[in-house]
Structure 1
Amino acid sequence: MKLFFIPYAGGTANSYRVFKKYLDPDFEIFLIELAGRGQRINEPFYNDINDAVEDIFSKIKDSINDEPYSIFGHSMGGLIIYELLAKIEEIGIPYPKHVFISARRAPHLKSLYGKKYYKLPDKEFVFELSKLGNMNREFSKNPELFKIFLPVIRADYRLVEEYVFNKPIKKFKCNISLLYAIDDIEAPKEEVLQWMEYVQKGVEHFEYDGGHFYFFNNIEAVSNTINNTLYQYVD
């Protein structure tokens, strides 16, 4: 089983490396790096979600034809998954066996706050991120790192906040798992569970303690959820 991880806003491929300690070693893990960060720091940011989808698809298309695979996406990564699956269906290549959507409201739901945070001055932007619980542990412990990544986070927020959902709901042709945290005000349970409208097959949901970046404090539990879910597809 191949397992692809798609980053959240401001995230890098390294952001998910903590999972490798707990995921079954028989799974082949692919940590996707988005443009403008990490090993791709010199590449320009995406113009929109479609740019990100095209880029990710070009990186994984040769790996998803021959073996079963699944995809995990946290926050912005969950939104990218939705559009990526539409691309996969359009091209006609095999669907993933399973998809994990973490801390992301359903695509048709707009933010309750009605703001374009990415347009705010730096101090206000940082304050709003902190208030929403969107300051992940890596940045809160290292202000200098955060300063470096602030343009990345702002660019990613632009992708999400300028995203327009203007088409009929597309139903997933695979099983999905919805993961959310009880204190996440950015992606509350009732909005995450609206992904059920997008499901043709089976859906499970899992609740964890914490806020928007709950998985940093629940790595083992989330990994167990992934392991136990994917075992059903492995001979």
Structure 2
Amino acid sequence: MKKIKLFCFPYAGGSARIYNEWKPYLHQSIELRPIELAGRGSRFGEPLYDSLEAAVDNLLEIIEEEILYNNYALFGHSMGALLSFELARKIQNLELPRPTHLFFSGKSSPDIKEDTDKTFHMMEDDEFKEEIMELGGTPPDFFTHPELLDLFFPLLRNDFKLAESNIVAHNNEPFDCDITVLLGKEDDVTSRQADGWKNHSKKNVTLHYYNGGHFFIHDEKEGIIRVVNKTLEDIMKENLRKLYTKGNGLR
């Protein structure tokens, strides 16, 4: 049986390279597919996305041929989780082959906002820098190098603009696959925002909490990969069982 492709999407300001270190630890039945976004990494020279919808259209264009003939799952952290969510919705609305599982990491349910939620991309530069440093994930001394800041700052602000928007959907039917939600215990996601993910699946939604704040994805790598491996291994076993049962039934 073919491997399950695991398409992974980075957080705001991040590159697909953050997932490369997962490869040695993933089960042999999983093929890691980190997807690079425009304007960074191997796509550094490409223009930034002007809307969330444009980003989703581009990501679908990248993976569409692969999802037609393979079992696959989507994983995204923070902005990457929102991209995964909107991408899965678009796939569903276009009636393309759907993912076997969805992993949403470091992200509240997109349809539930709290009064305390911040709008980062609208902040003045100094406030924006302070908030980004408080979130973590970016080395503090990065902001002391003007040449790096000039390159990175527009990308980061644009990413937050994408992360703080949603596509207005005409069809918001819950997904027909299981969802796994991964969150940091010290992140700003409220219990209401976390539980809101349960409205987005017709099946099971499982929440996992890890030590740390918004960027627990770096410090809790082993625990996250353990969940990913177990989840996708179980899917592969179930697919094999169905094939075996079907094969015996044809005799």
The two structures have a TM-score, normalised by structure 2, of 0.84
Superposition pairs of residues 3-42 of structure 1, within 5 angstroms: 3-42=6-45
Judge which range, 159-168 or 220-229, deviates more: 159-168
Residue 139 of structure 2: aligned partner: 139
SS in structure 2 opposite 1:63? Answer: helix
Residue 68 of structure 2: aligned partner: 65
Measured against aligned partners, the alpha-carbon deviations of 1:78-127 in whole angstroms (never above 9, x if no partner) come to 11122111211122111110000111111112353455321323221110
Superposition pairs of residues 162-201 of structure 1, within 5 angstroms: 162-163=165-166, 165=168, 169-185=172-188, 187-201=189-203
Superposition pairs of residues 80-119 of structure 1, within 5 angstroms: 80-110=83-113, 112-113=115-116, 115-119=118-122
Judge which range, 160-169 or 176-185, deviates more: 160-169
2:225 matches 1:223: yes
- Distance in 2 of aligned mates of 1:181 and 1:4: 22
Alignment-mate amino acid for residue 46 of structure 1: Y
Alignment-mate amino acid for residue 185 of structure 2: I
RMSD: 2.1
- Distance in 2 of aligned mates of 1:86 and 1:42: 29
For structure 2, list consecutive stretches of 5 or more residues without a partner in the other structure.
241-251
- Distance in 1 of aligned mates of 2:148 and 2:179: 32
**Does the C-alpha gap of structure 1 residues 198 and 162 become closer, same or farther in structure 2, counting only changes over 3 Å?**
closer
- Distance in 2 of aligned mates of 1:68 and 1:109: 30
**1:146 positional shift:** 6.4
Question: Of the candidates 74, 78, 82, which is equivalent to residue 75 of structure 1?
Answer: 78
- Distance in 1 of aligned mates of 2:142 and 2:39: 20
For these two proteins, the number of residue pairs brought into alignment is 231
- Distance in 2 of aligned mates of 1:167 and 1:91: 12
- Distance in 1 of aligned mates of 2:129 and 2:168: 27
Residue 247 of structure 2: aligned partner: none
2:151 matches 1:154: no
For structure 1, list consecutive stretches of 5 or more residues without a partner in the other structure.
none
* Conserved? CA contact 1:45–1:155, under 8 Å: yes
The two structures have a TM-score, normalised by structure 1, of 0.90
Residue 212 of structure 1: aligned partner: 214
Larger Rg: 2
Measured against aligned partners, the alpha-carbon deviations of 1:130-187 in whole angstroms (never above 9, x if no partner) come to 33x2x21x534644496242221110111122436575643011111011111001x2
- Percent identity over the alignment is 33
Alignment-mate amino acid for residue 66 of structure 1: Y
* Conserved? CA contact 2:26–2:229, under 8 Å: yes
SS in structure 2 opposite 1:112? Answer: coil
**Does the C-alpha gap of structure 1 residues 140 and 21 become closer, same or farther in structure 2, counting only changes over 3 Å?**
farther
Residue 248 of structure 2: aligned partner: none
Judge which range, 148-157 or 211-220, deviates more: 148-157
**Does the C-alpha gap of structure 1 residues 178 and 11 become closer, same or farther in structure 2, counting only changes over 3 Å?**
same
Alignment-mate amino acid for residue 191 of structure 1: Q
- Distance in 2 of aligned mates of 1:140 and 1:22: 29
* Conserved? CA contact 1:36–1:152, under 8 Å: yes
Alignment-mate amino acid for residue 139 of structure 1: P
